């Protein structure tokens, strides 16, 4: 079963618009929620991450909003640019005494039109 | 340059022909992991290793083997590949003491099994 569900699967936004990608998780033991950005032909790269003790984290045009009670978190890209066109993955991980894995969402392919 | 390298980048093979995908990192990371990426499923962990000679199964280990004889290398072995192993594979690494989400990914290996 998919422990982290991501939507939408694809998203088309005009340049300058706001891109919003949503994720929901099931396991309340998750304590770290990163977002990864992947360009075609490349591996994913960490974009921004949040811990559940805060409700929002902002880095430049990228903001994560976190709702612990709803078990949801989302990525907002303000003033979206064509260079933001990529696949975005949300993920979650939990404290473990042995082993540590990232559970990824299904991915969102973002296209920003000029 | 700090990086994770994978070889080969592209591979077409036939059912049953053993193959190895190599992974190497030059960041002295303890933790290494293999993922497969499939459309609509995101990235799923195959195997991970917390250090030399310490490996464990991820979410989808069937049909794969790994070894960790040196800290920098973490090869993925398919003893008898089947068409359902056609996928995009990523190796990743991170410091054991670092943020659990901050994994560094290789460029990927696209495998086709005929």
Q: Which residues of B touch A89 (CB under 8 A)?
A: 42-43
Contact A91 B92 (CB under 8 A): no
Query: Residue A32 and residue B4: Cβ atoms within 8 Å?
Result: no
pLDDT tens-digit series, residues A81-114: 999 999 999 999 876 544 567 889 999 999 999 9
Among B113, B107, B106, B88, which residue's Cα sits nearest to residue B32?
B106
pLDDT for residue A77: 98
Question: A36 - beta bridge partners?
Answer: A46, A89
Q: Return the percentage of chain B with pLDDT > 70, whole number.
A: 95
| B108/A42 Cβ within 8 A | yes
Secondary structure element (H or E) that encloses residue A25, with its range:
strand A19-25
Average pLDDT of every residue of chain B: 93
Nearest to B52 by CA among B63, B35, B66: B66
Contacting residues for B96 by C-beta, under 8 A, at least 6 apart? B29, B30, B31, B50, B51
pLDDT of residue B34: 97
Residue by residue, what is the 3-state secondary structure of A33-47? EEEEEECCCCCCEEE
Task: Tell me the C-alpha to C-alpha distance, in Å, between residue A34 and each of A57, A82, B2, B32.
Answer: 11, 22, 21, 18
pLDDT at residue B8 tops 50: yes
Q: Shortest CB distance from A42 goes to which of B43, B45, B107?
A: B107
Residues 60-89 of B with CB under 8 A from A: none
Average pLDDT over residues A13-25: 97
In angstroms, the CA A106 to CA B67 distance is: 28
Q: Which residue of A has its CA nearest to B6?
A: A43
pLDDT average, residue stretch A3-7: 94
For residue B43, give the nearest of A33, A89, A98 by CB distance.
Answer: A89
pLDDT class for B106, splitting at 50, 70, 90?
Answer: very high
Give, in degrees to the nearest 5, the angle at Cα B72 between B71 and B73: 100
Between A59 and A52, the higher pLDDT residue? A59
Q: What is the pLDDT of residue A100?
A: 62
Mean pLDDT on A8-13:
97
pLDDT of B111 > 60? The answer is yes
- How wide is the angle at C-alpha A85 spanned by C-alphas B11 and B35, nearest 5°? 35
H-helix or E-strand containing B56? Answer: strand B54-57
By DSSP bridging, strand B10-13 and strand B109-113 are parallel
* Structure-model confidence comparison of residues B2 and A44, the more confident one: A44
Edge-to-edge order in the sheet of strand B65-66 = B4-7, B19-25, B76-78, B65-66
Instruction: List pLDDT tens digits, range B44-72.
Output: 999 999 889 999 999 999 999 999 999 99
Closest-CA residue of A relative to B89 is: A43
Residue B93 to residue B68: CA distance in whole angstroms: 13
Q: Mean pLDDT in chain A? A: 92
């Amino acid at each position: 079963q998919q422990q982290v569900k991501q939507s939408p699967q694809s998203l088309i936004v005009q340049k300058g618009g706001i891109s919003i990608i949503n994720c929901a998780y099931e396991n309340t033991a998750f304590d770290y929620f990163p977002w990864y950005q992947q360009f075609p032909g490349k591996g994913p790269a960490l974009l921004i991450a949040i811990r559940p003790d805060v409700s929002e984290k902002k880095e430049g045009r990228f903001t994560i909003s976190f709702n612990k009670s709803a078990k949801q978190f989302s990525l907002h890209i303000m003033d979206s640019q064509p260079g933001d066109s990529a696949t975005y993955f949300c993920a979650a991980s939990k404290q473990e005494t042995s082993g540590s894995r990232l559970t990824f969402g299904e991915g969102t392919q973002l296209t920003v039109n000029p | 340059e700090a990086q994770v390298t994978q070889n080969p980048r592209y591979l077409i093979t036939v059912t049953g022909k053993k193959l190895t995908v190599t992974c190497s990192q030059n960041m002295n990371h303890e933790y290494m992991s293999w993922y497969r990426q499939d459309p609509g499923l995101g990235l799923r962990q195959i195997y991970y290793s917390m250090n030399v000679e310490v490996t464990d199964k991820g979410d989808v280990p069937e049909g794969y083997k790994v070894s960790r004889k040196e800290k920098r290398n973490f090869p993925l072995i398919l003893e008898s590949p089947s068409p359902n192993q056609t996928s995009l594979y990523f190796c990743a690494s991170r410091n054991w003491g670092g943020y659990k989400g901050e994994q560094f990914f290789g460029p990927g290996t696209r495998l086709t099994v005929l």
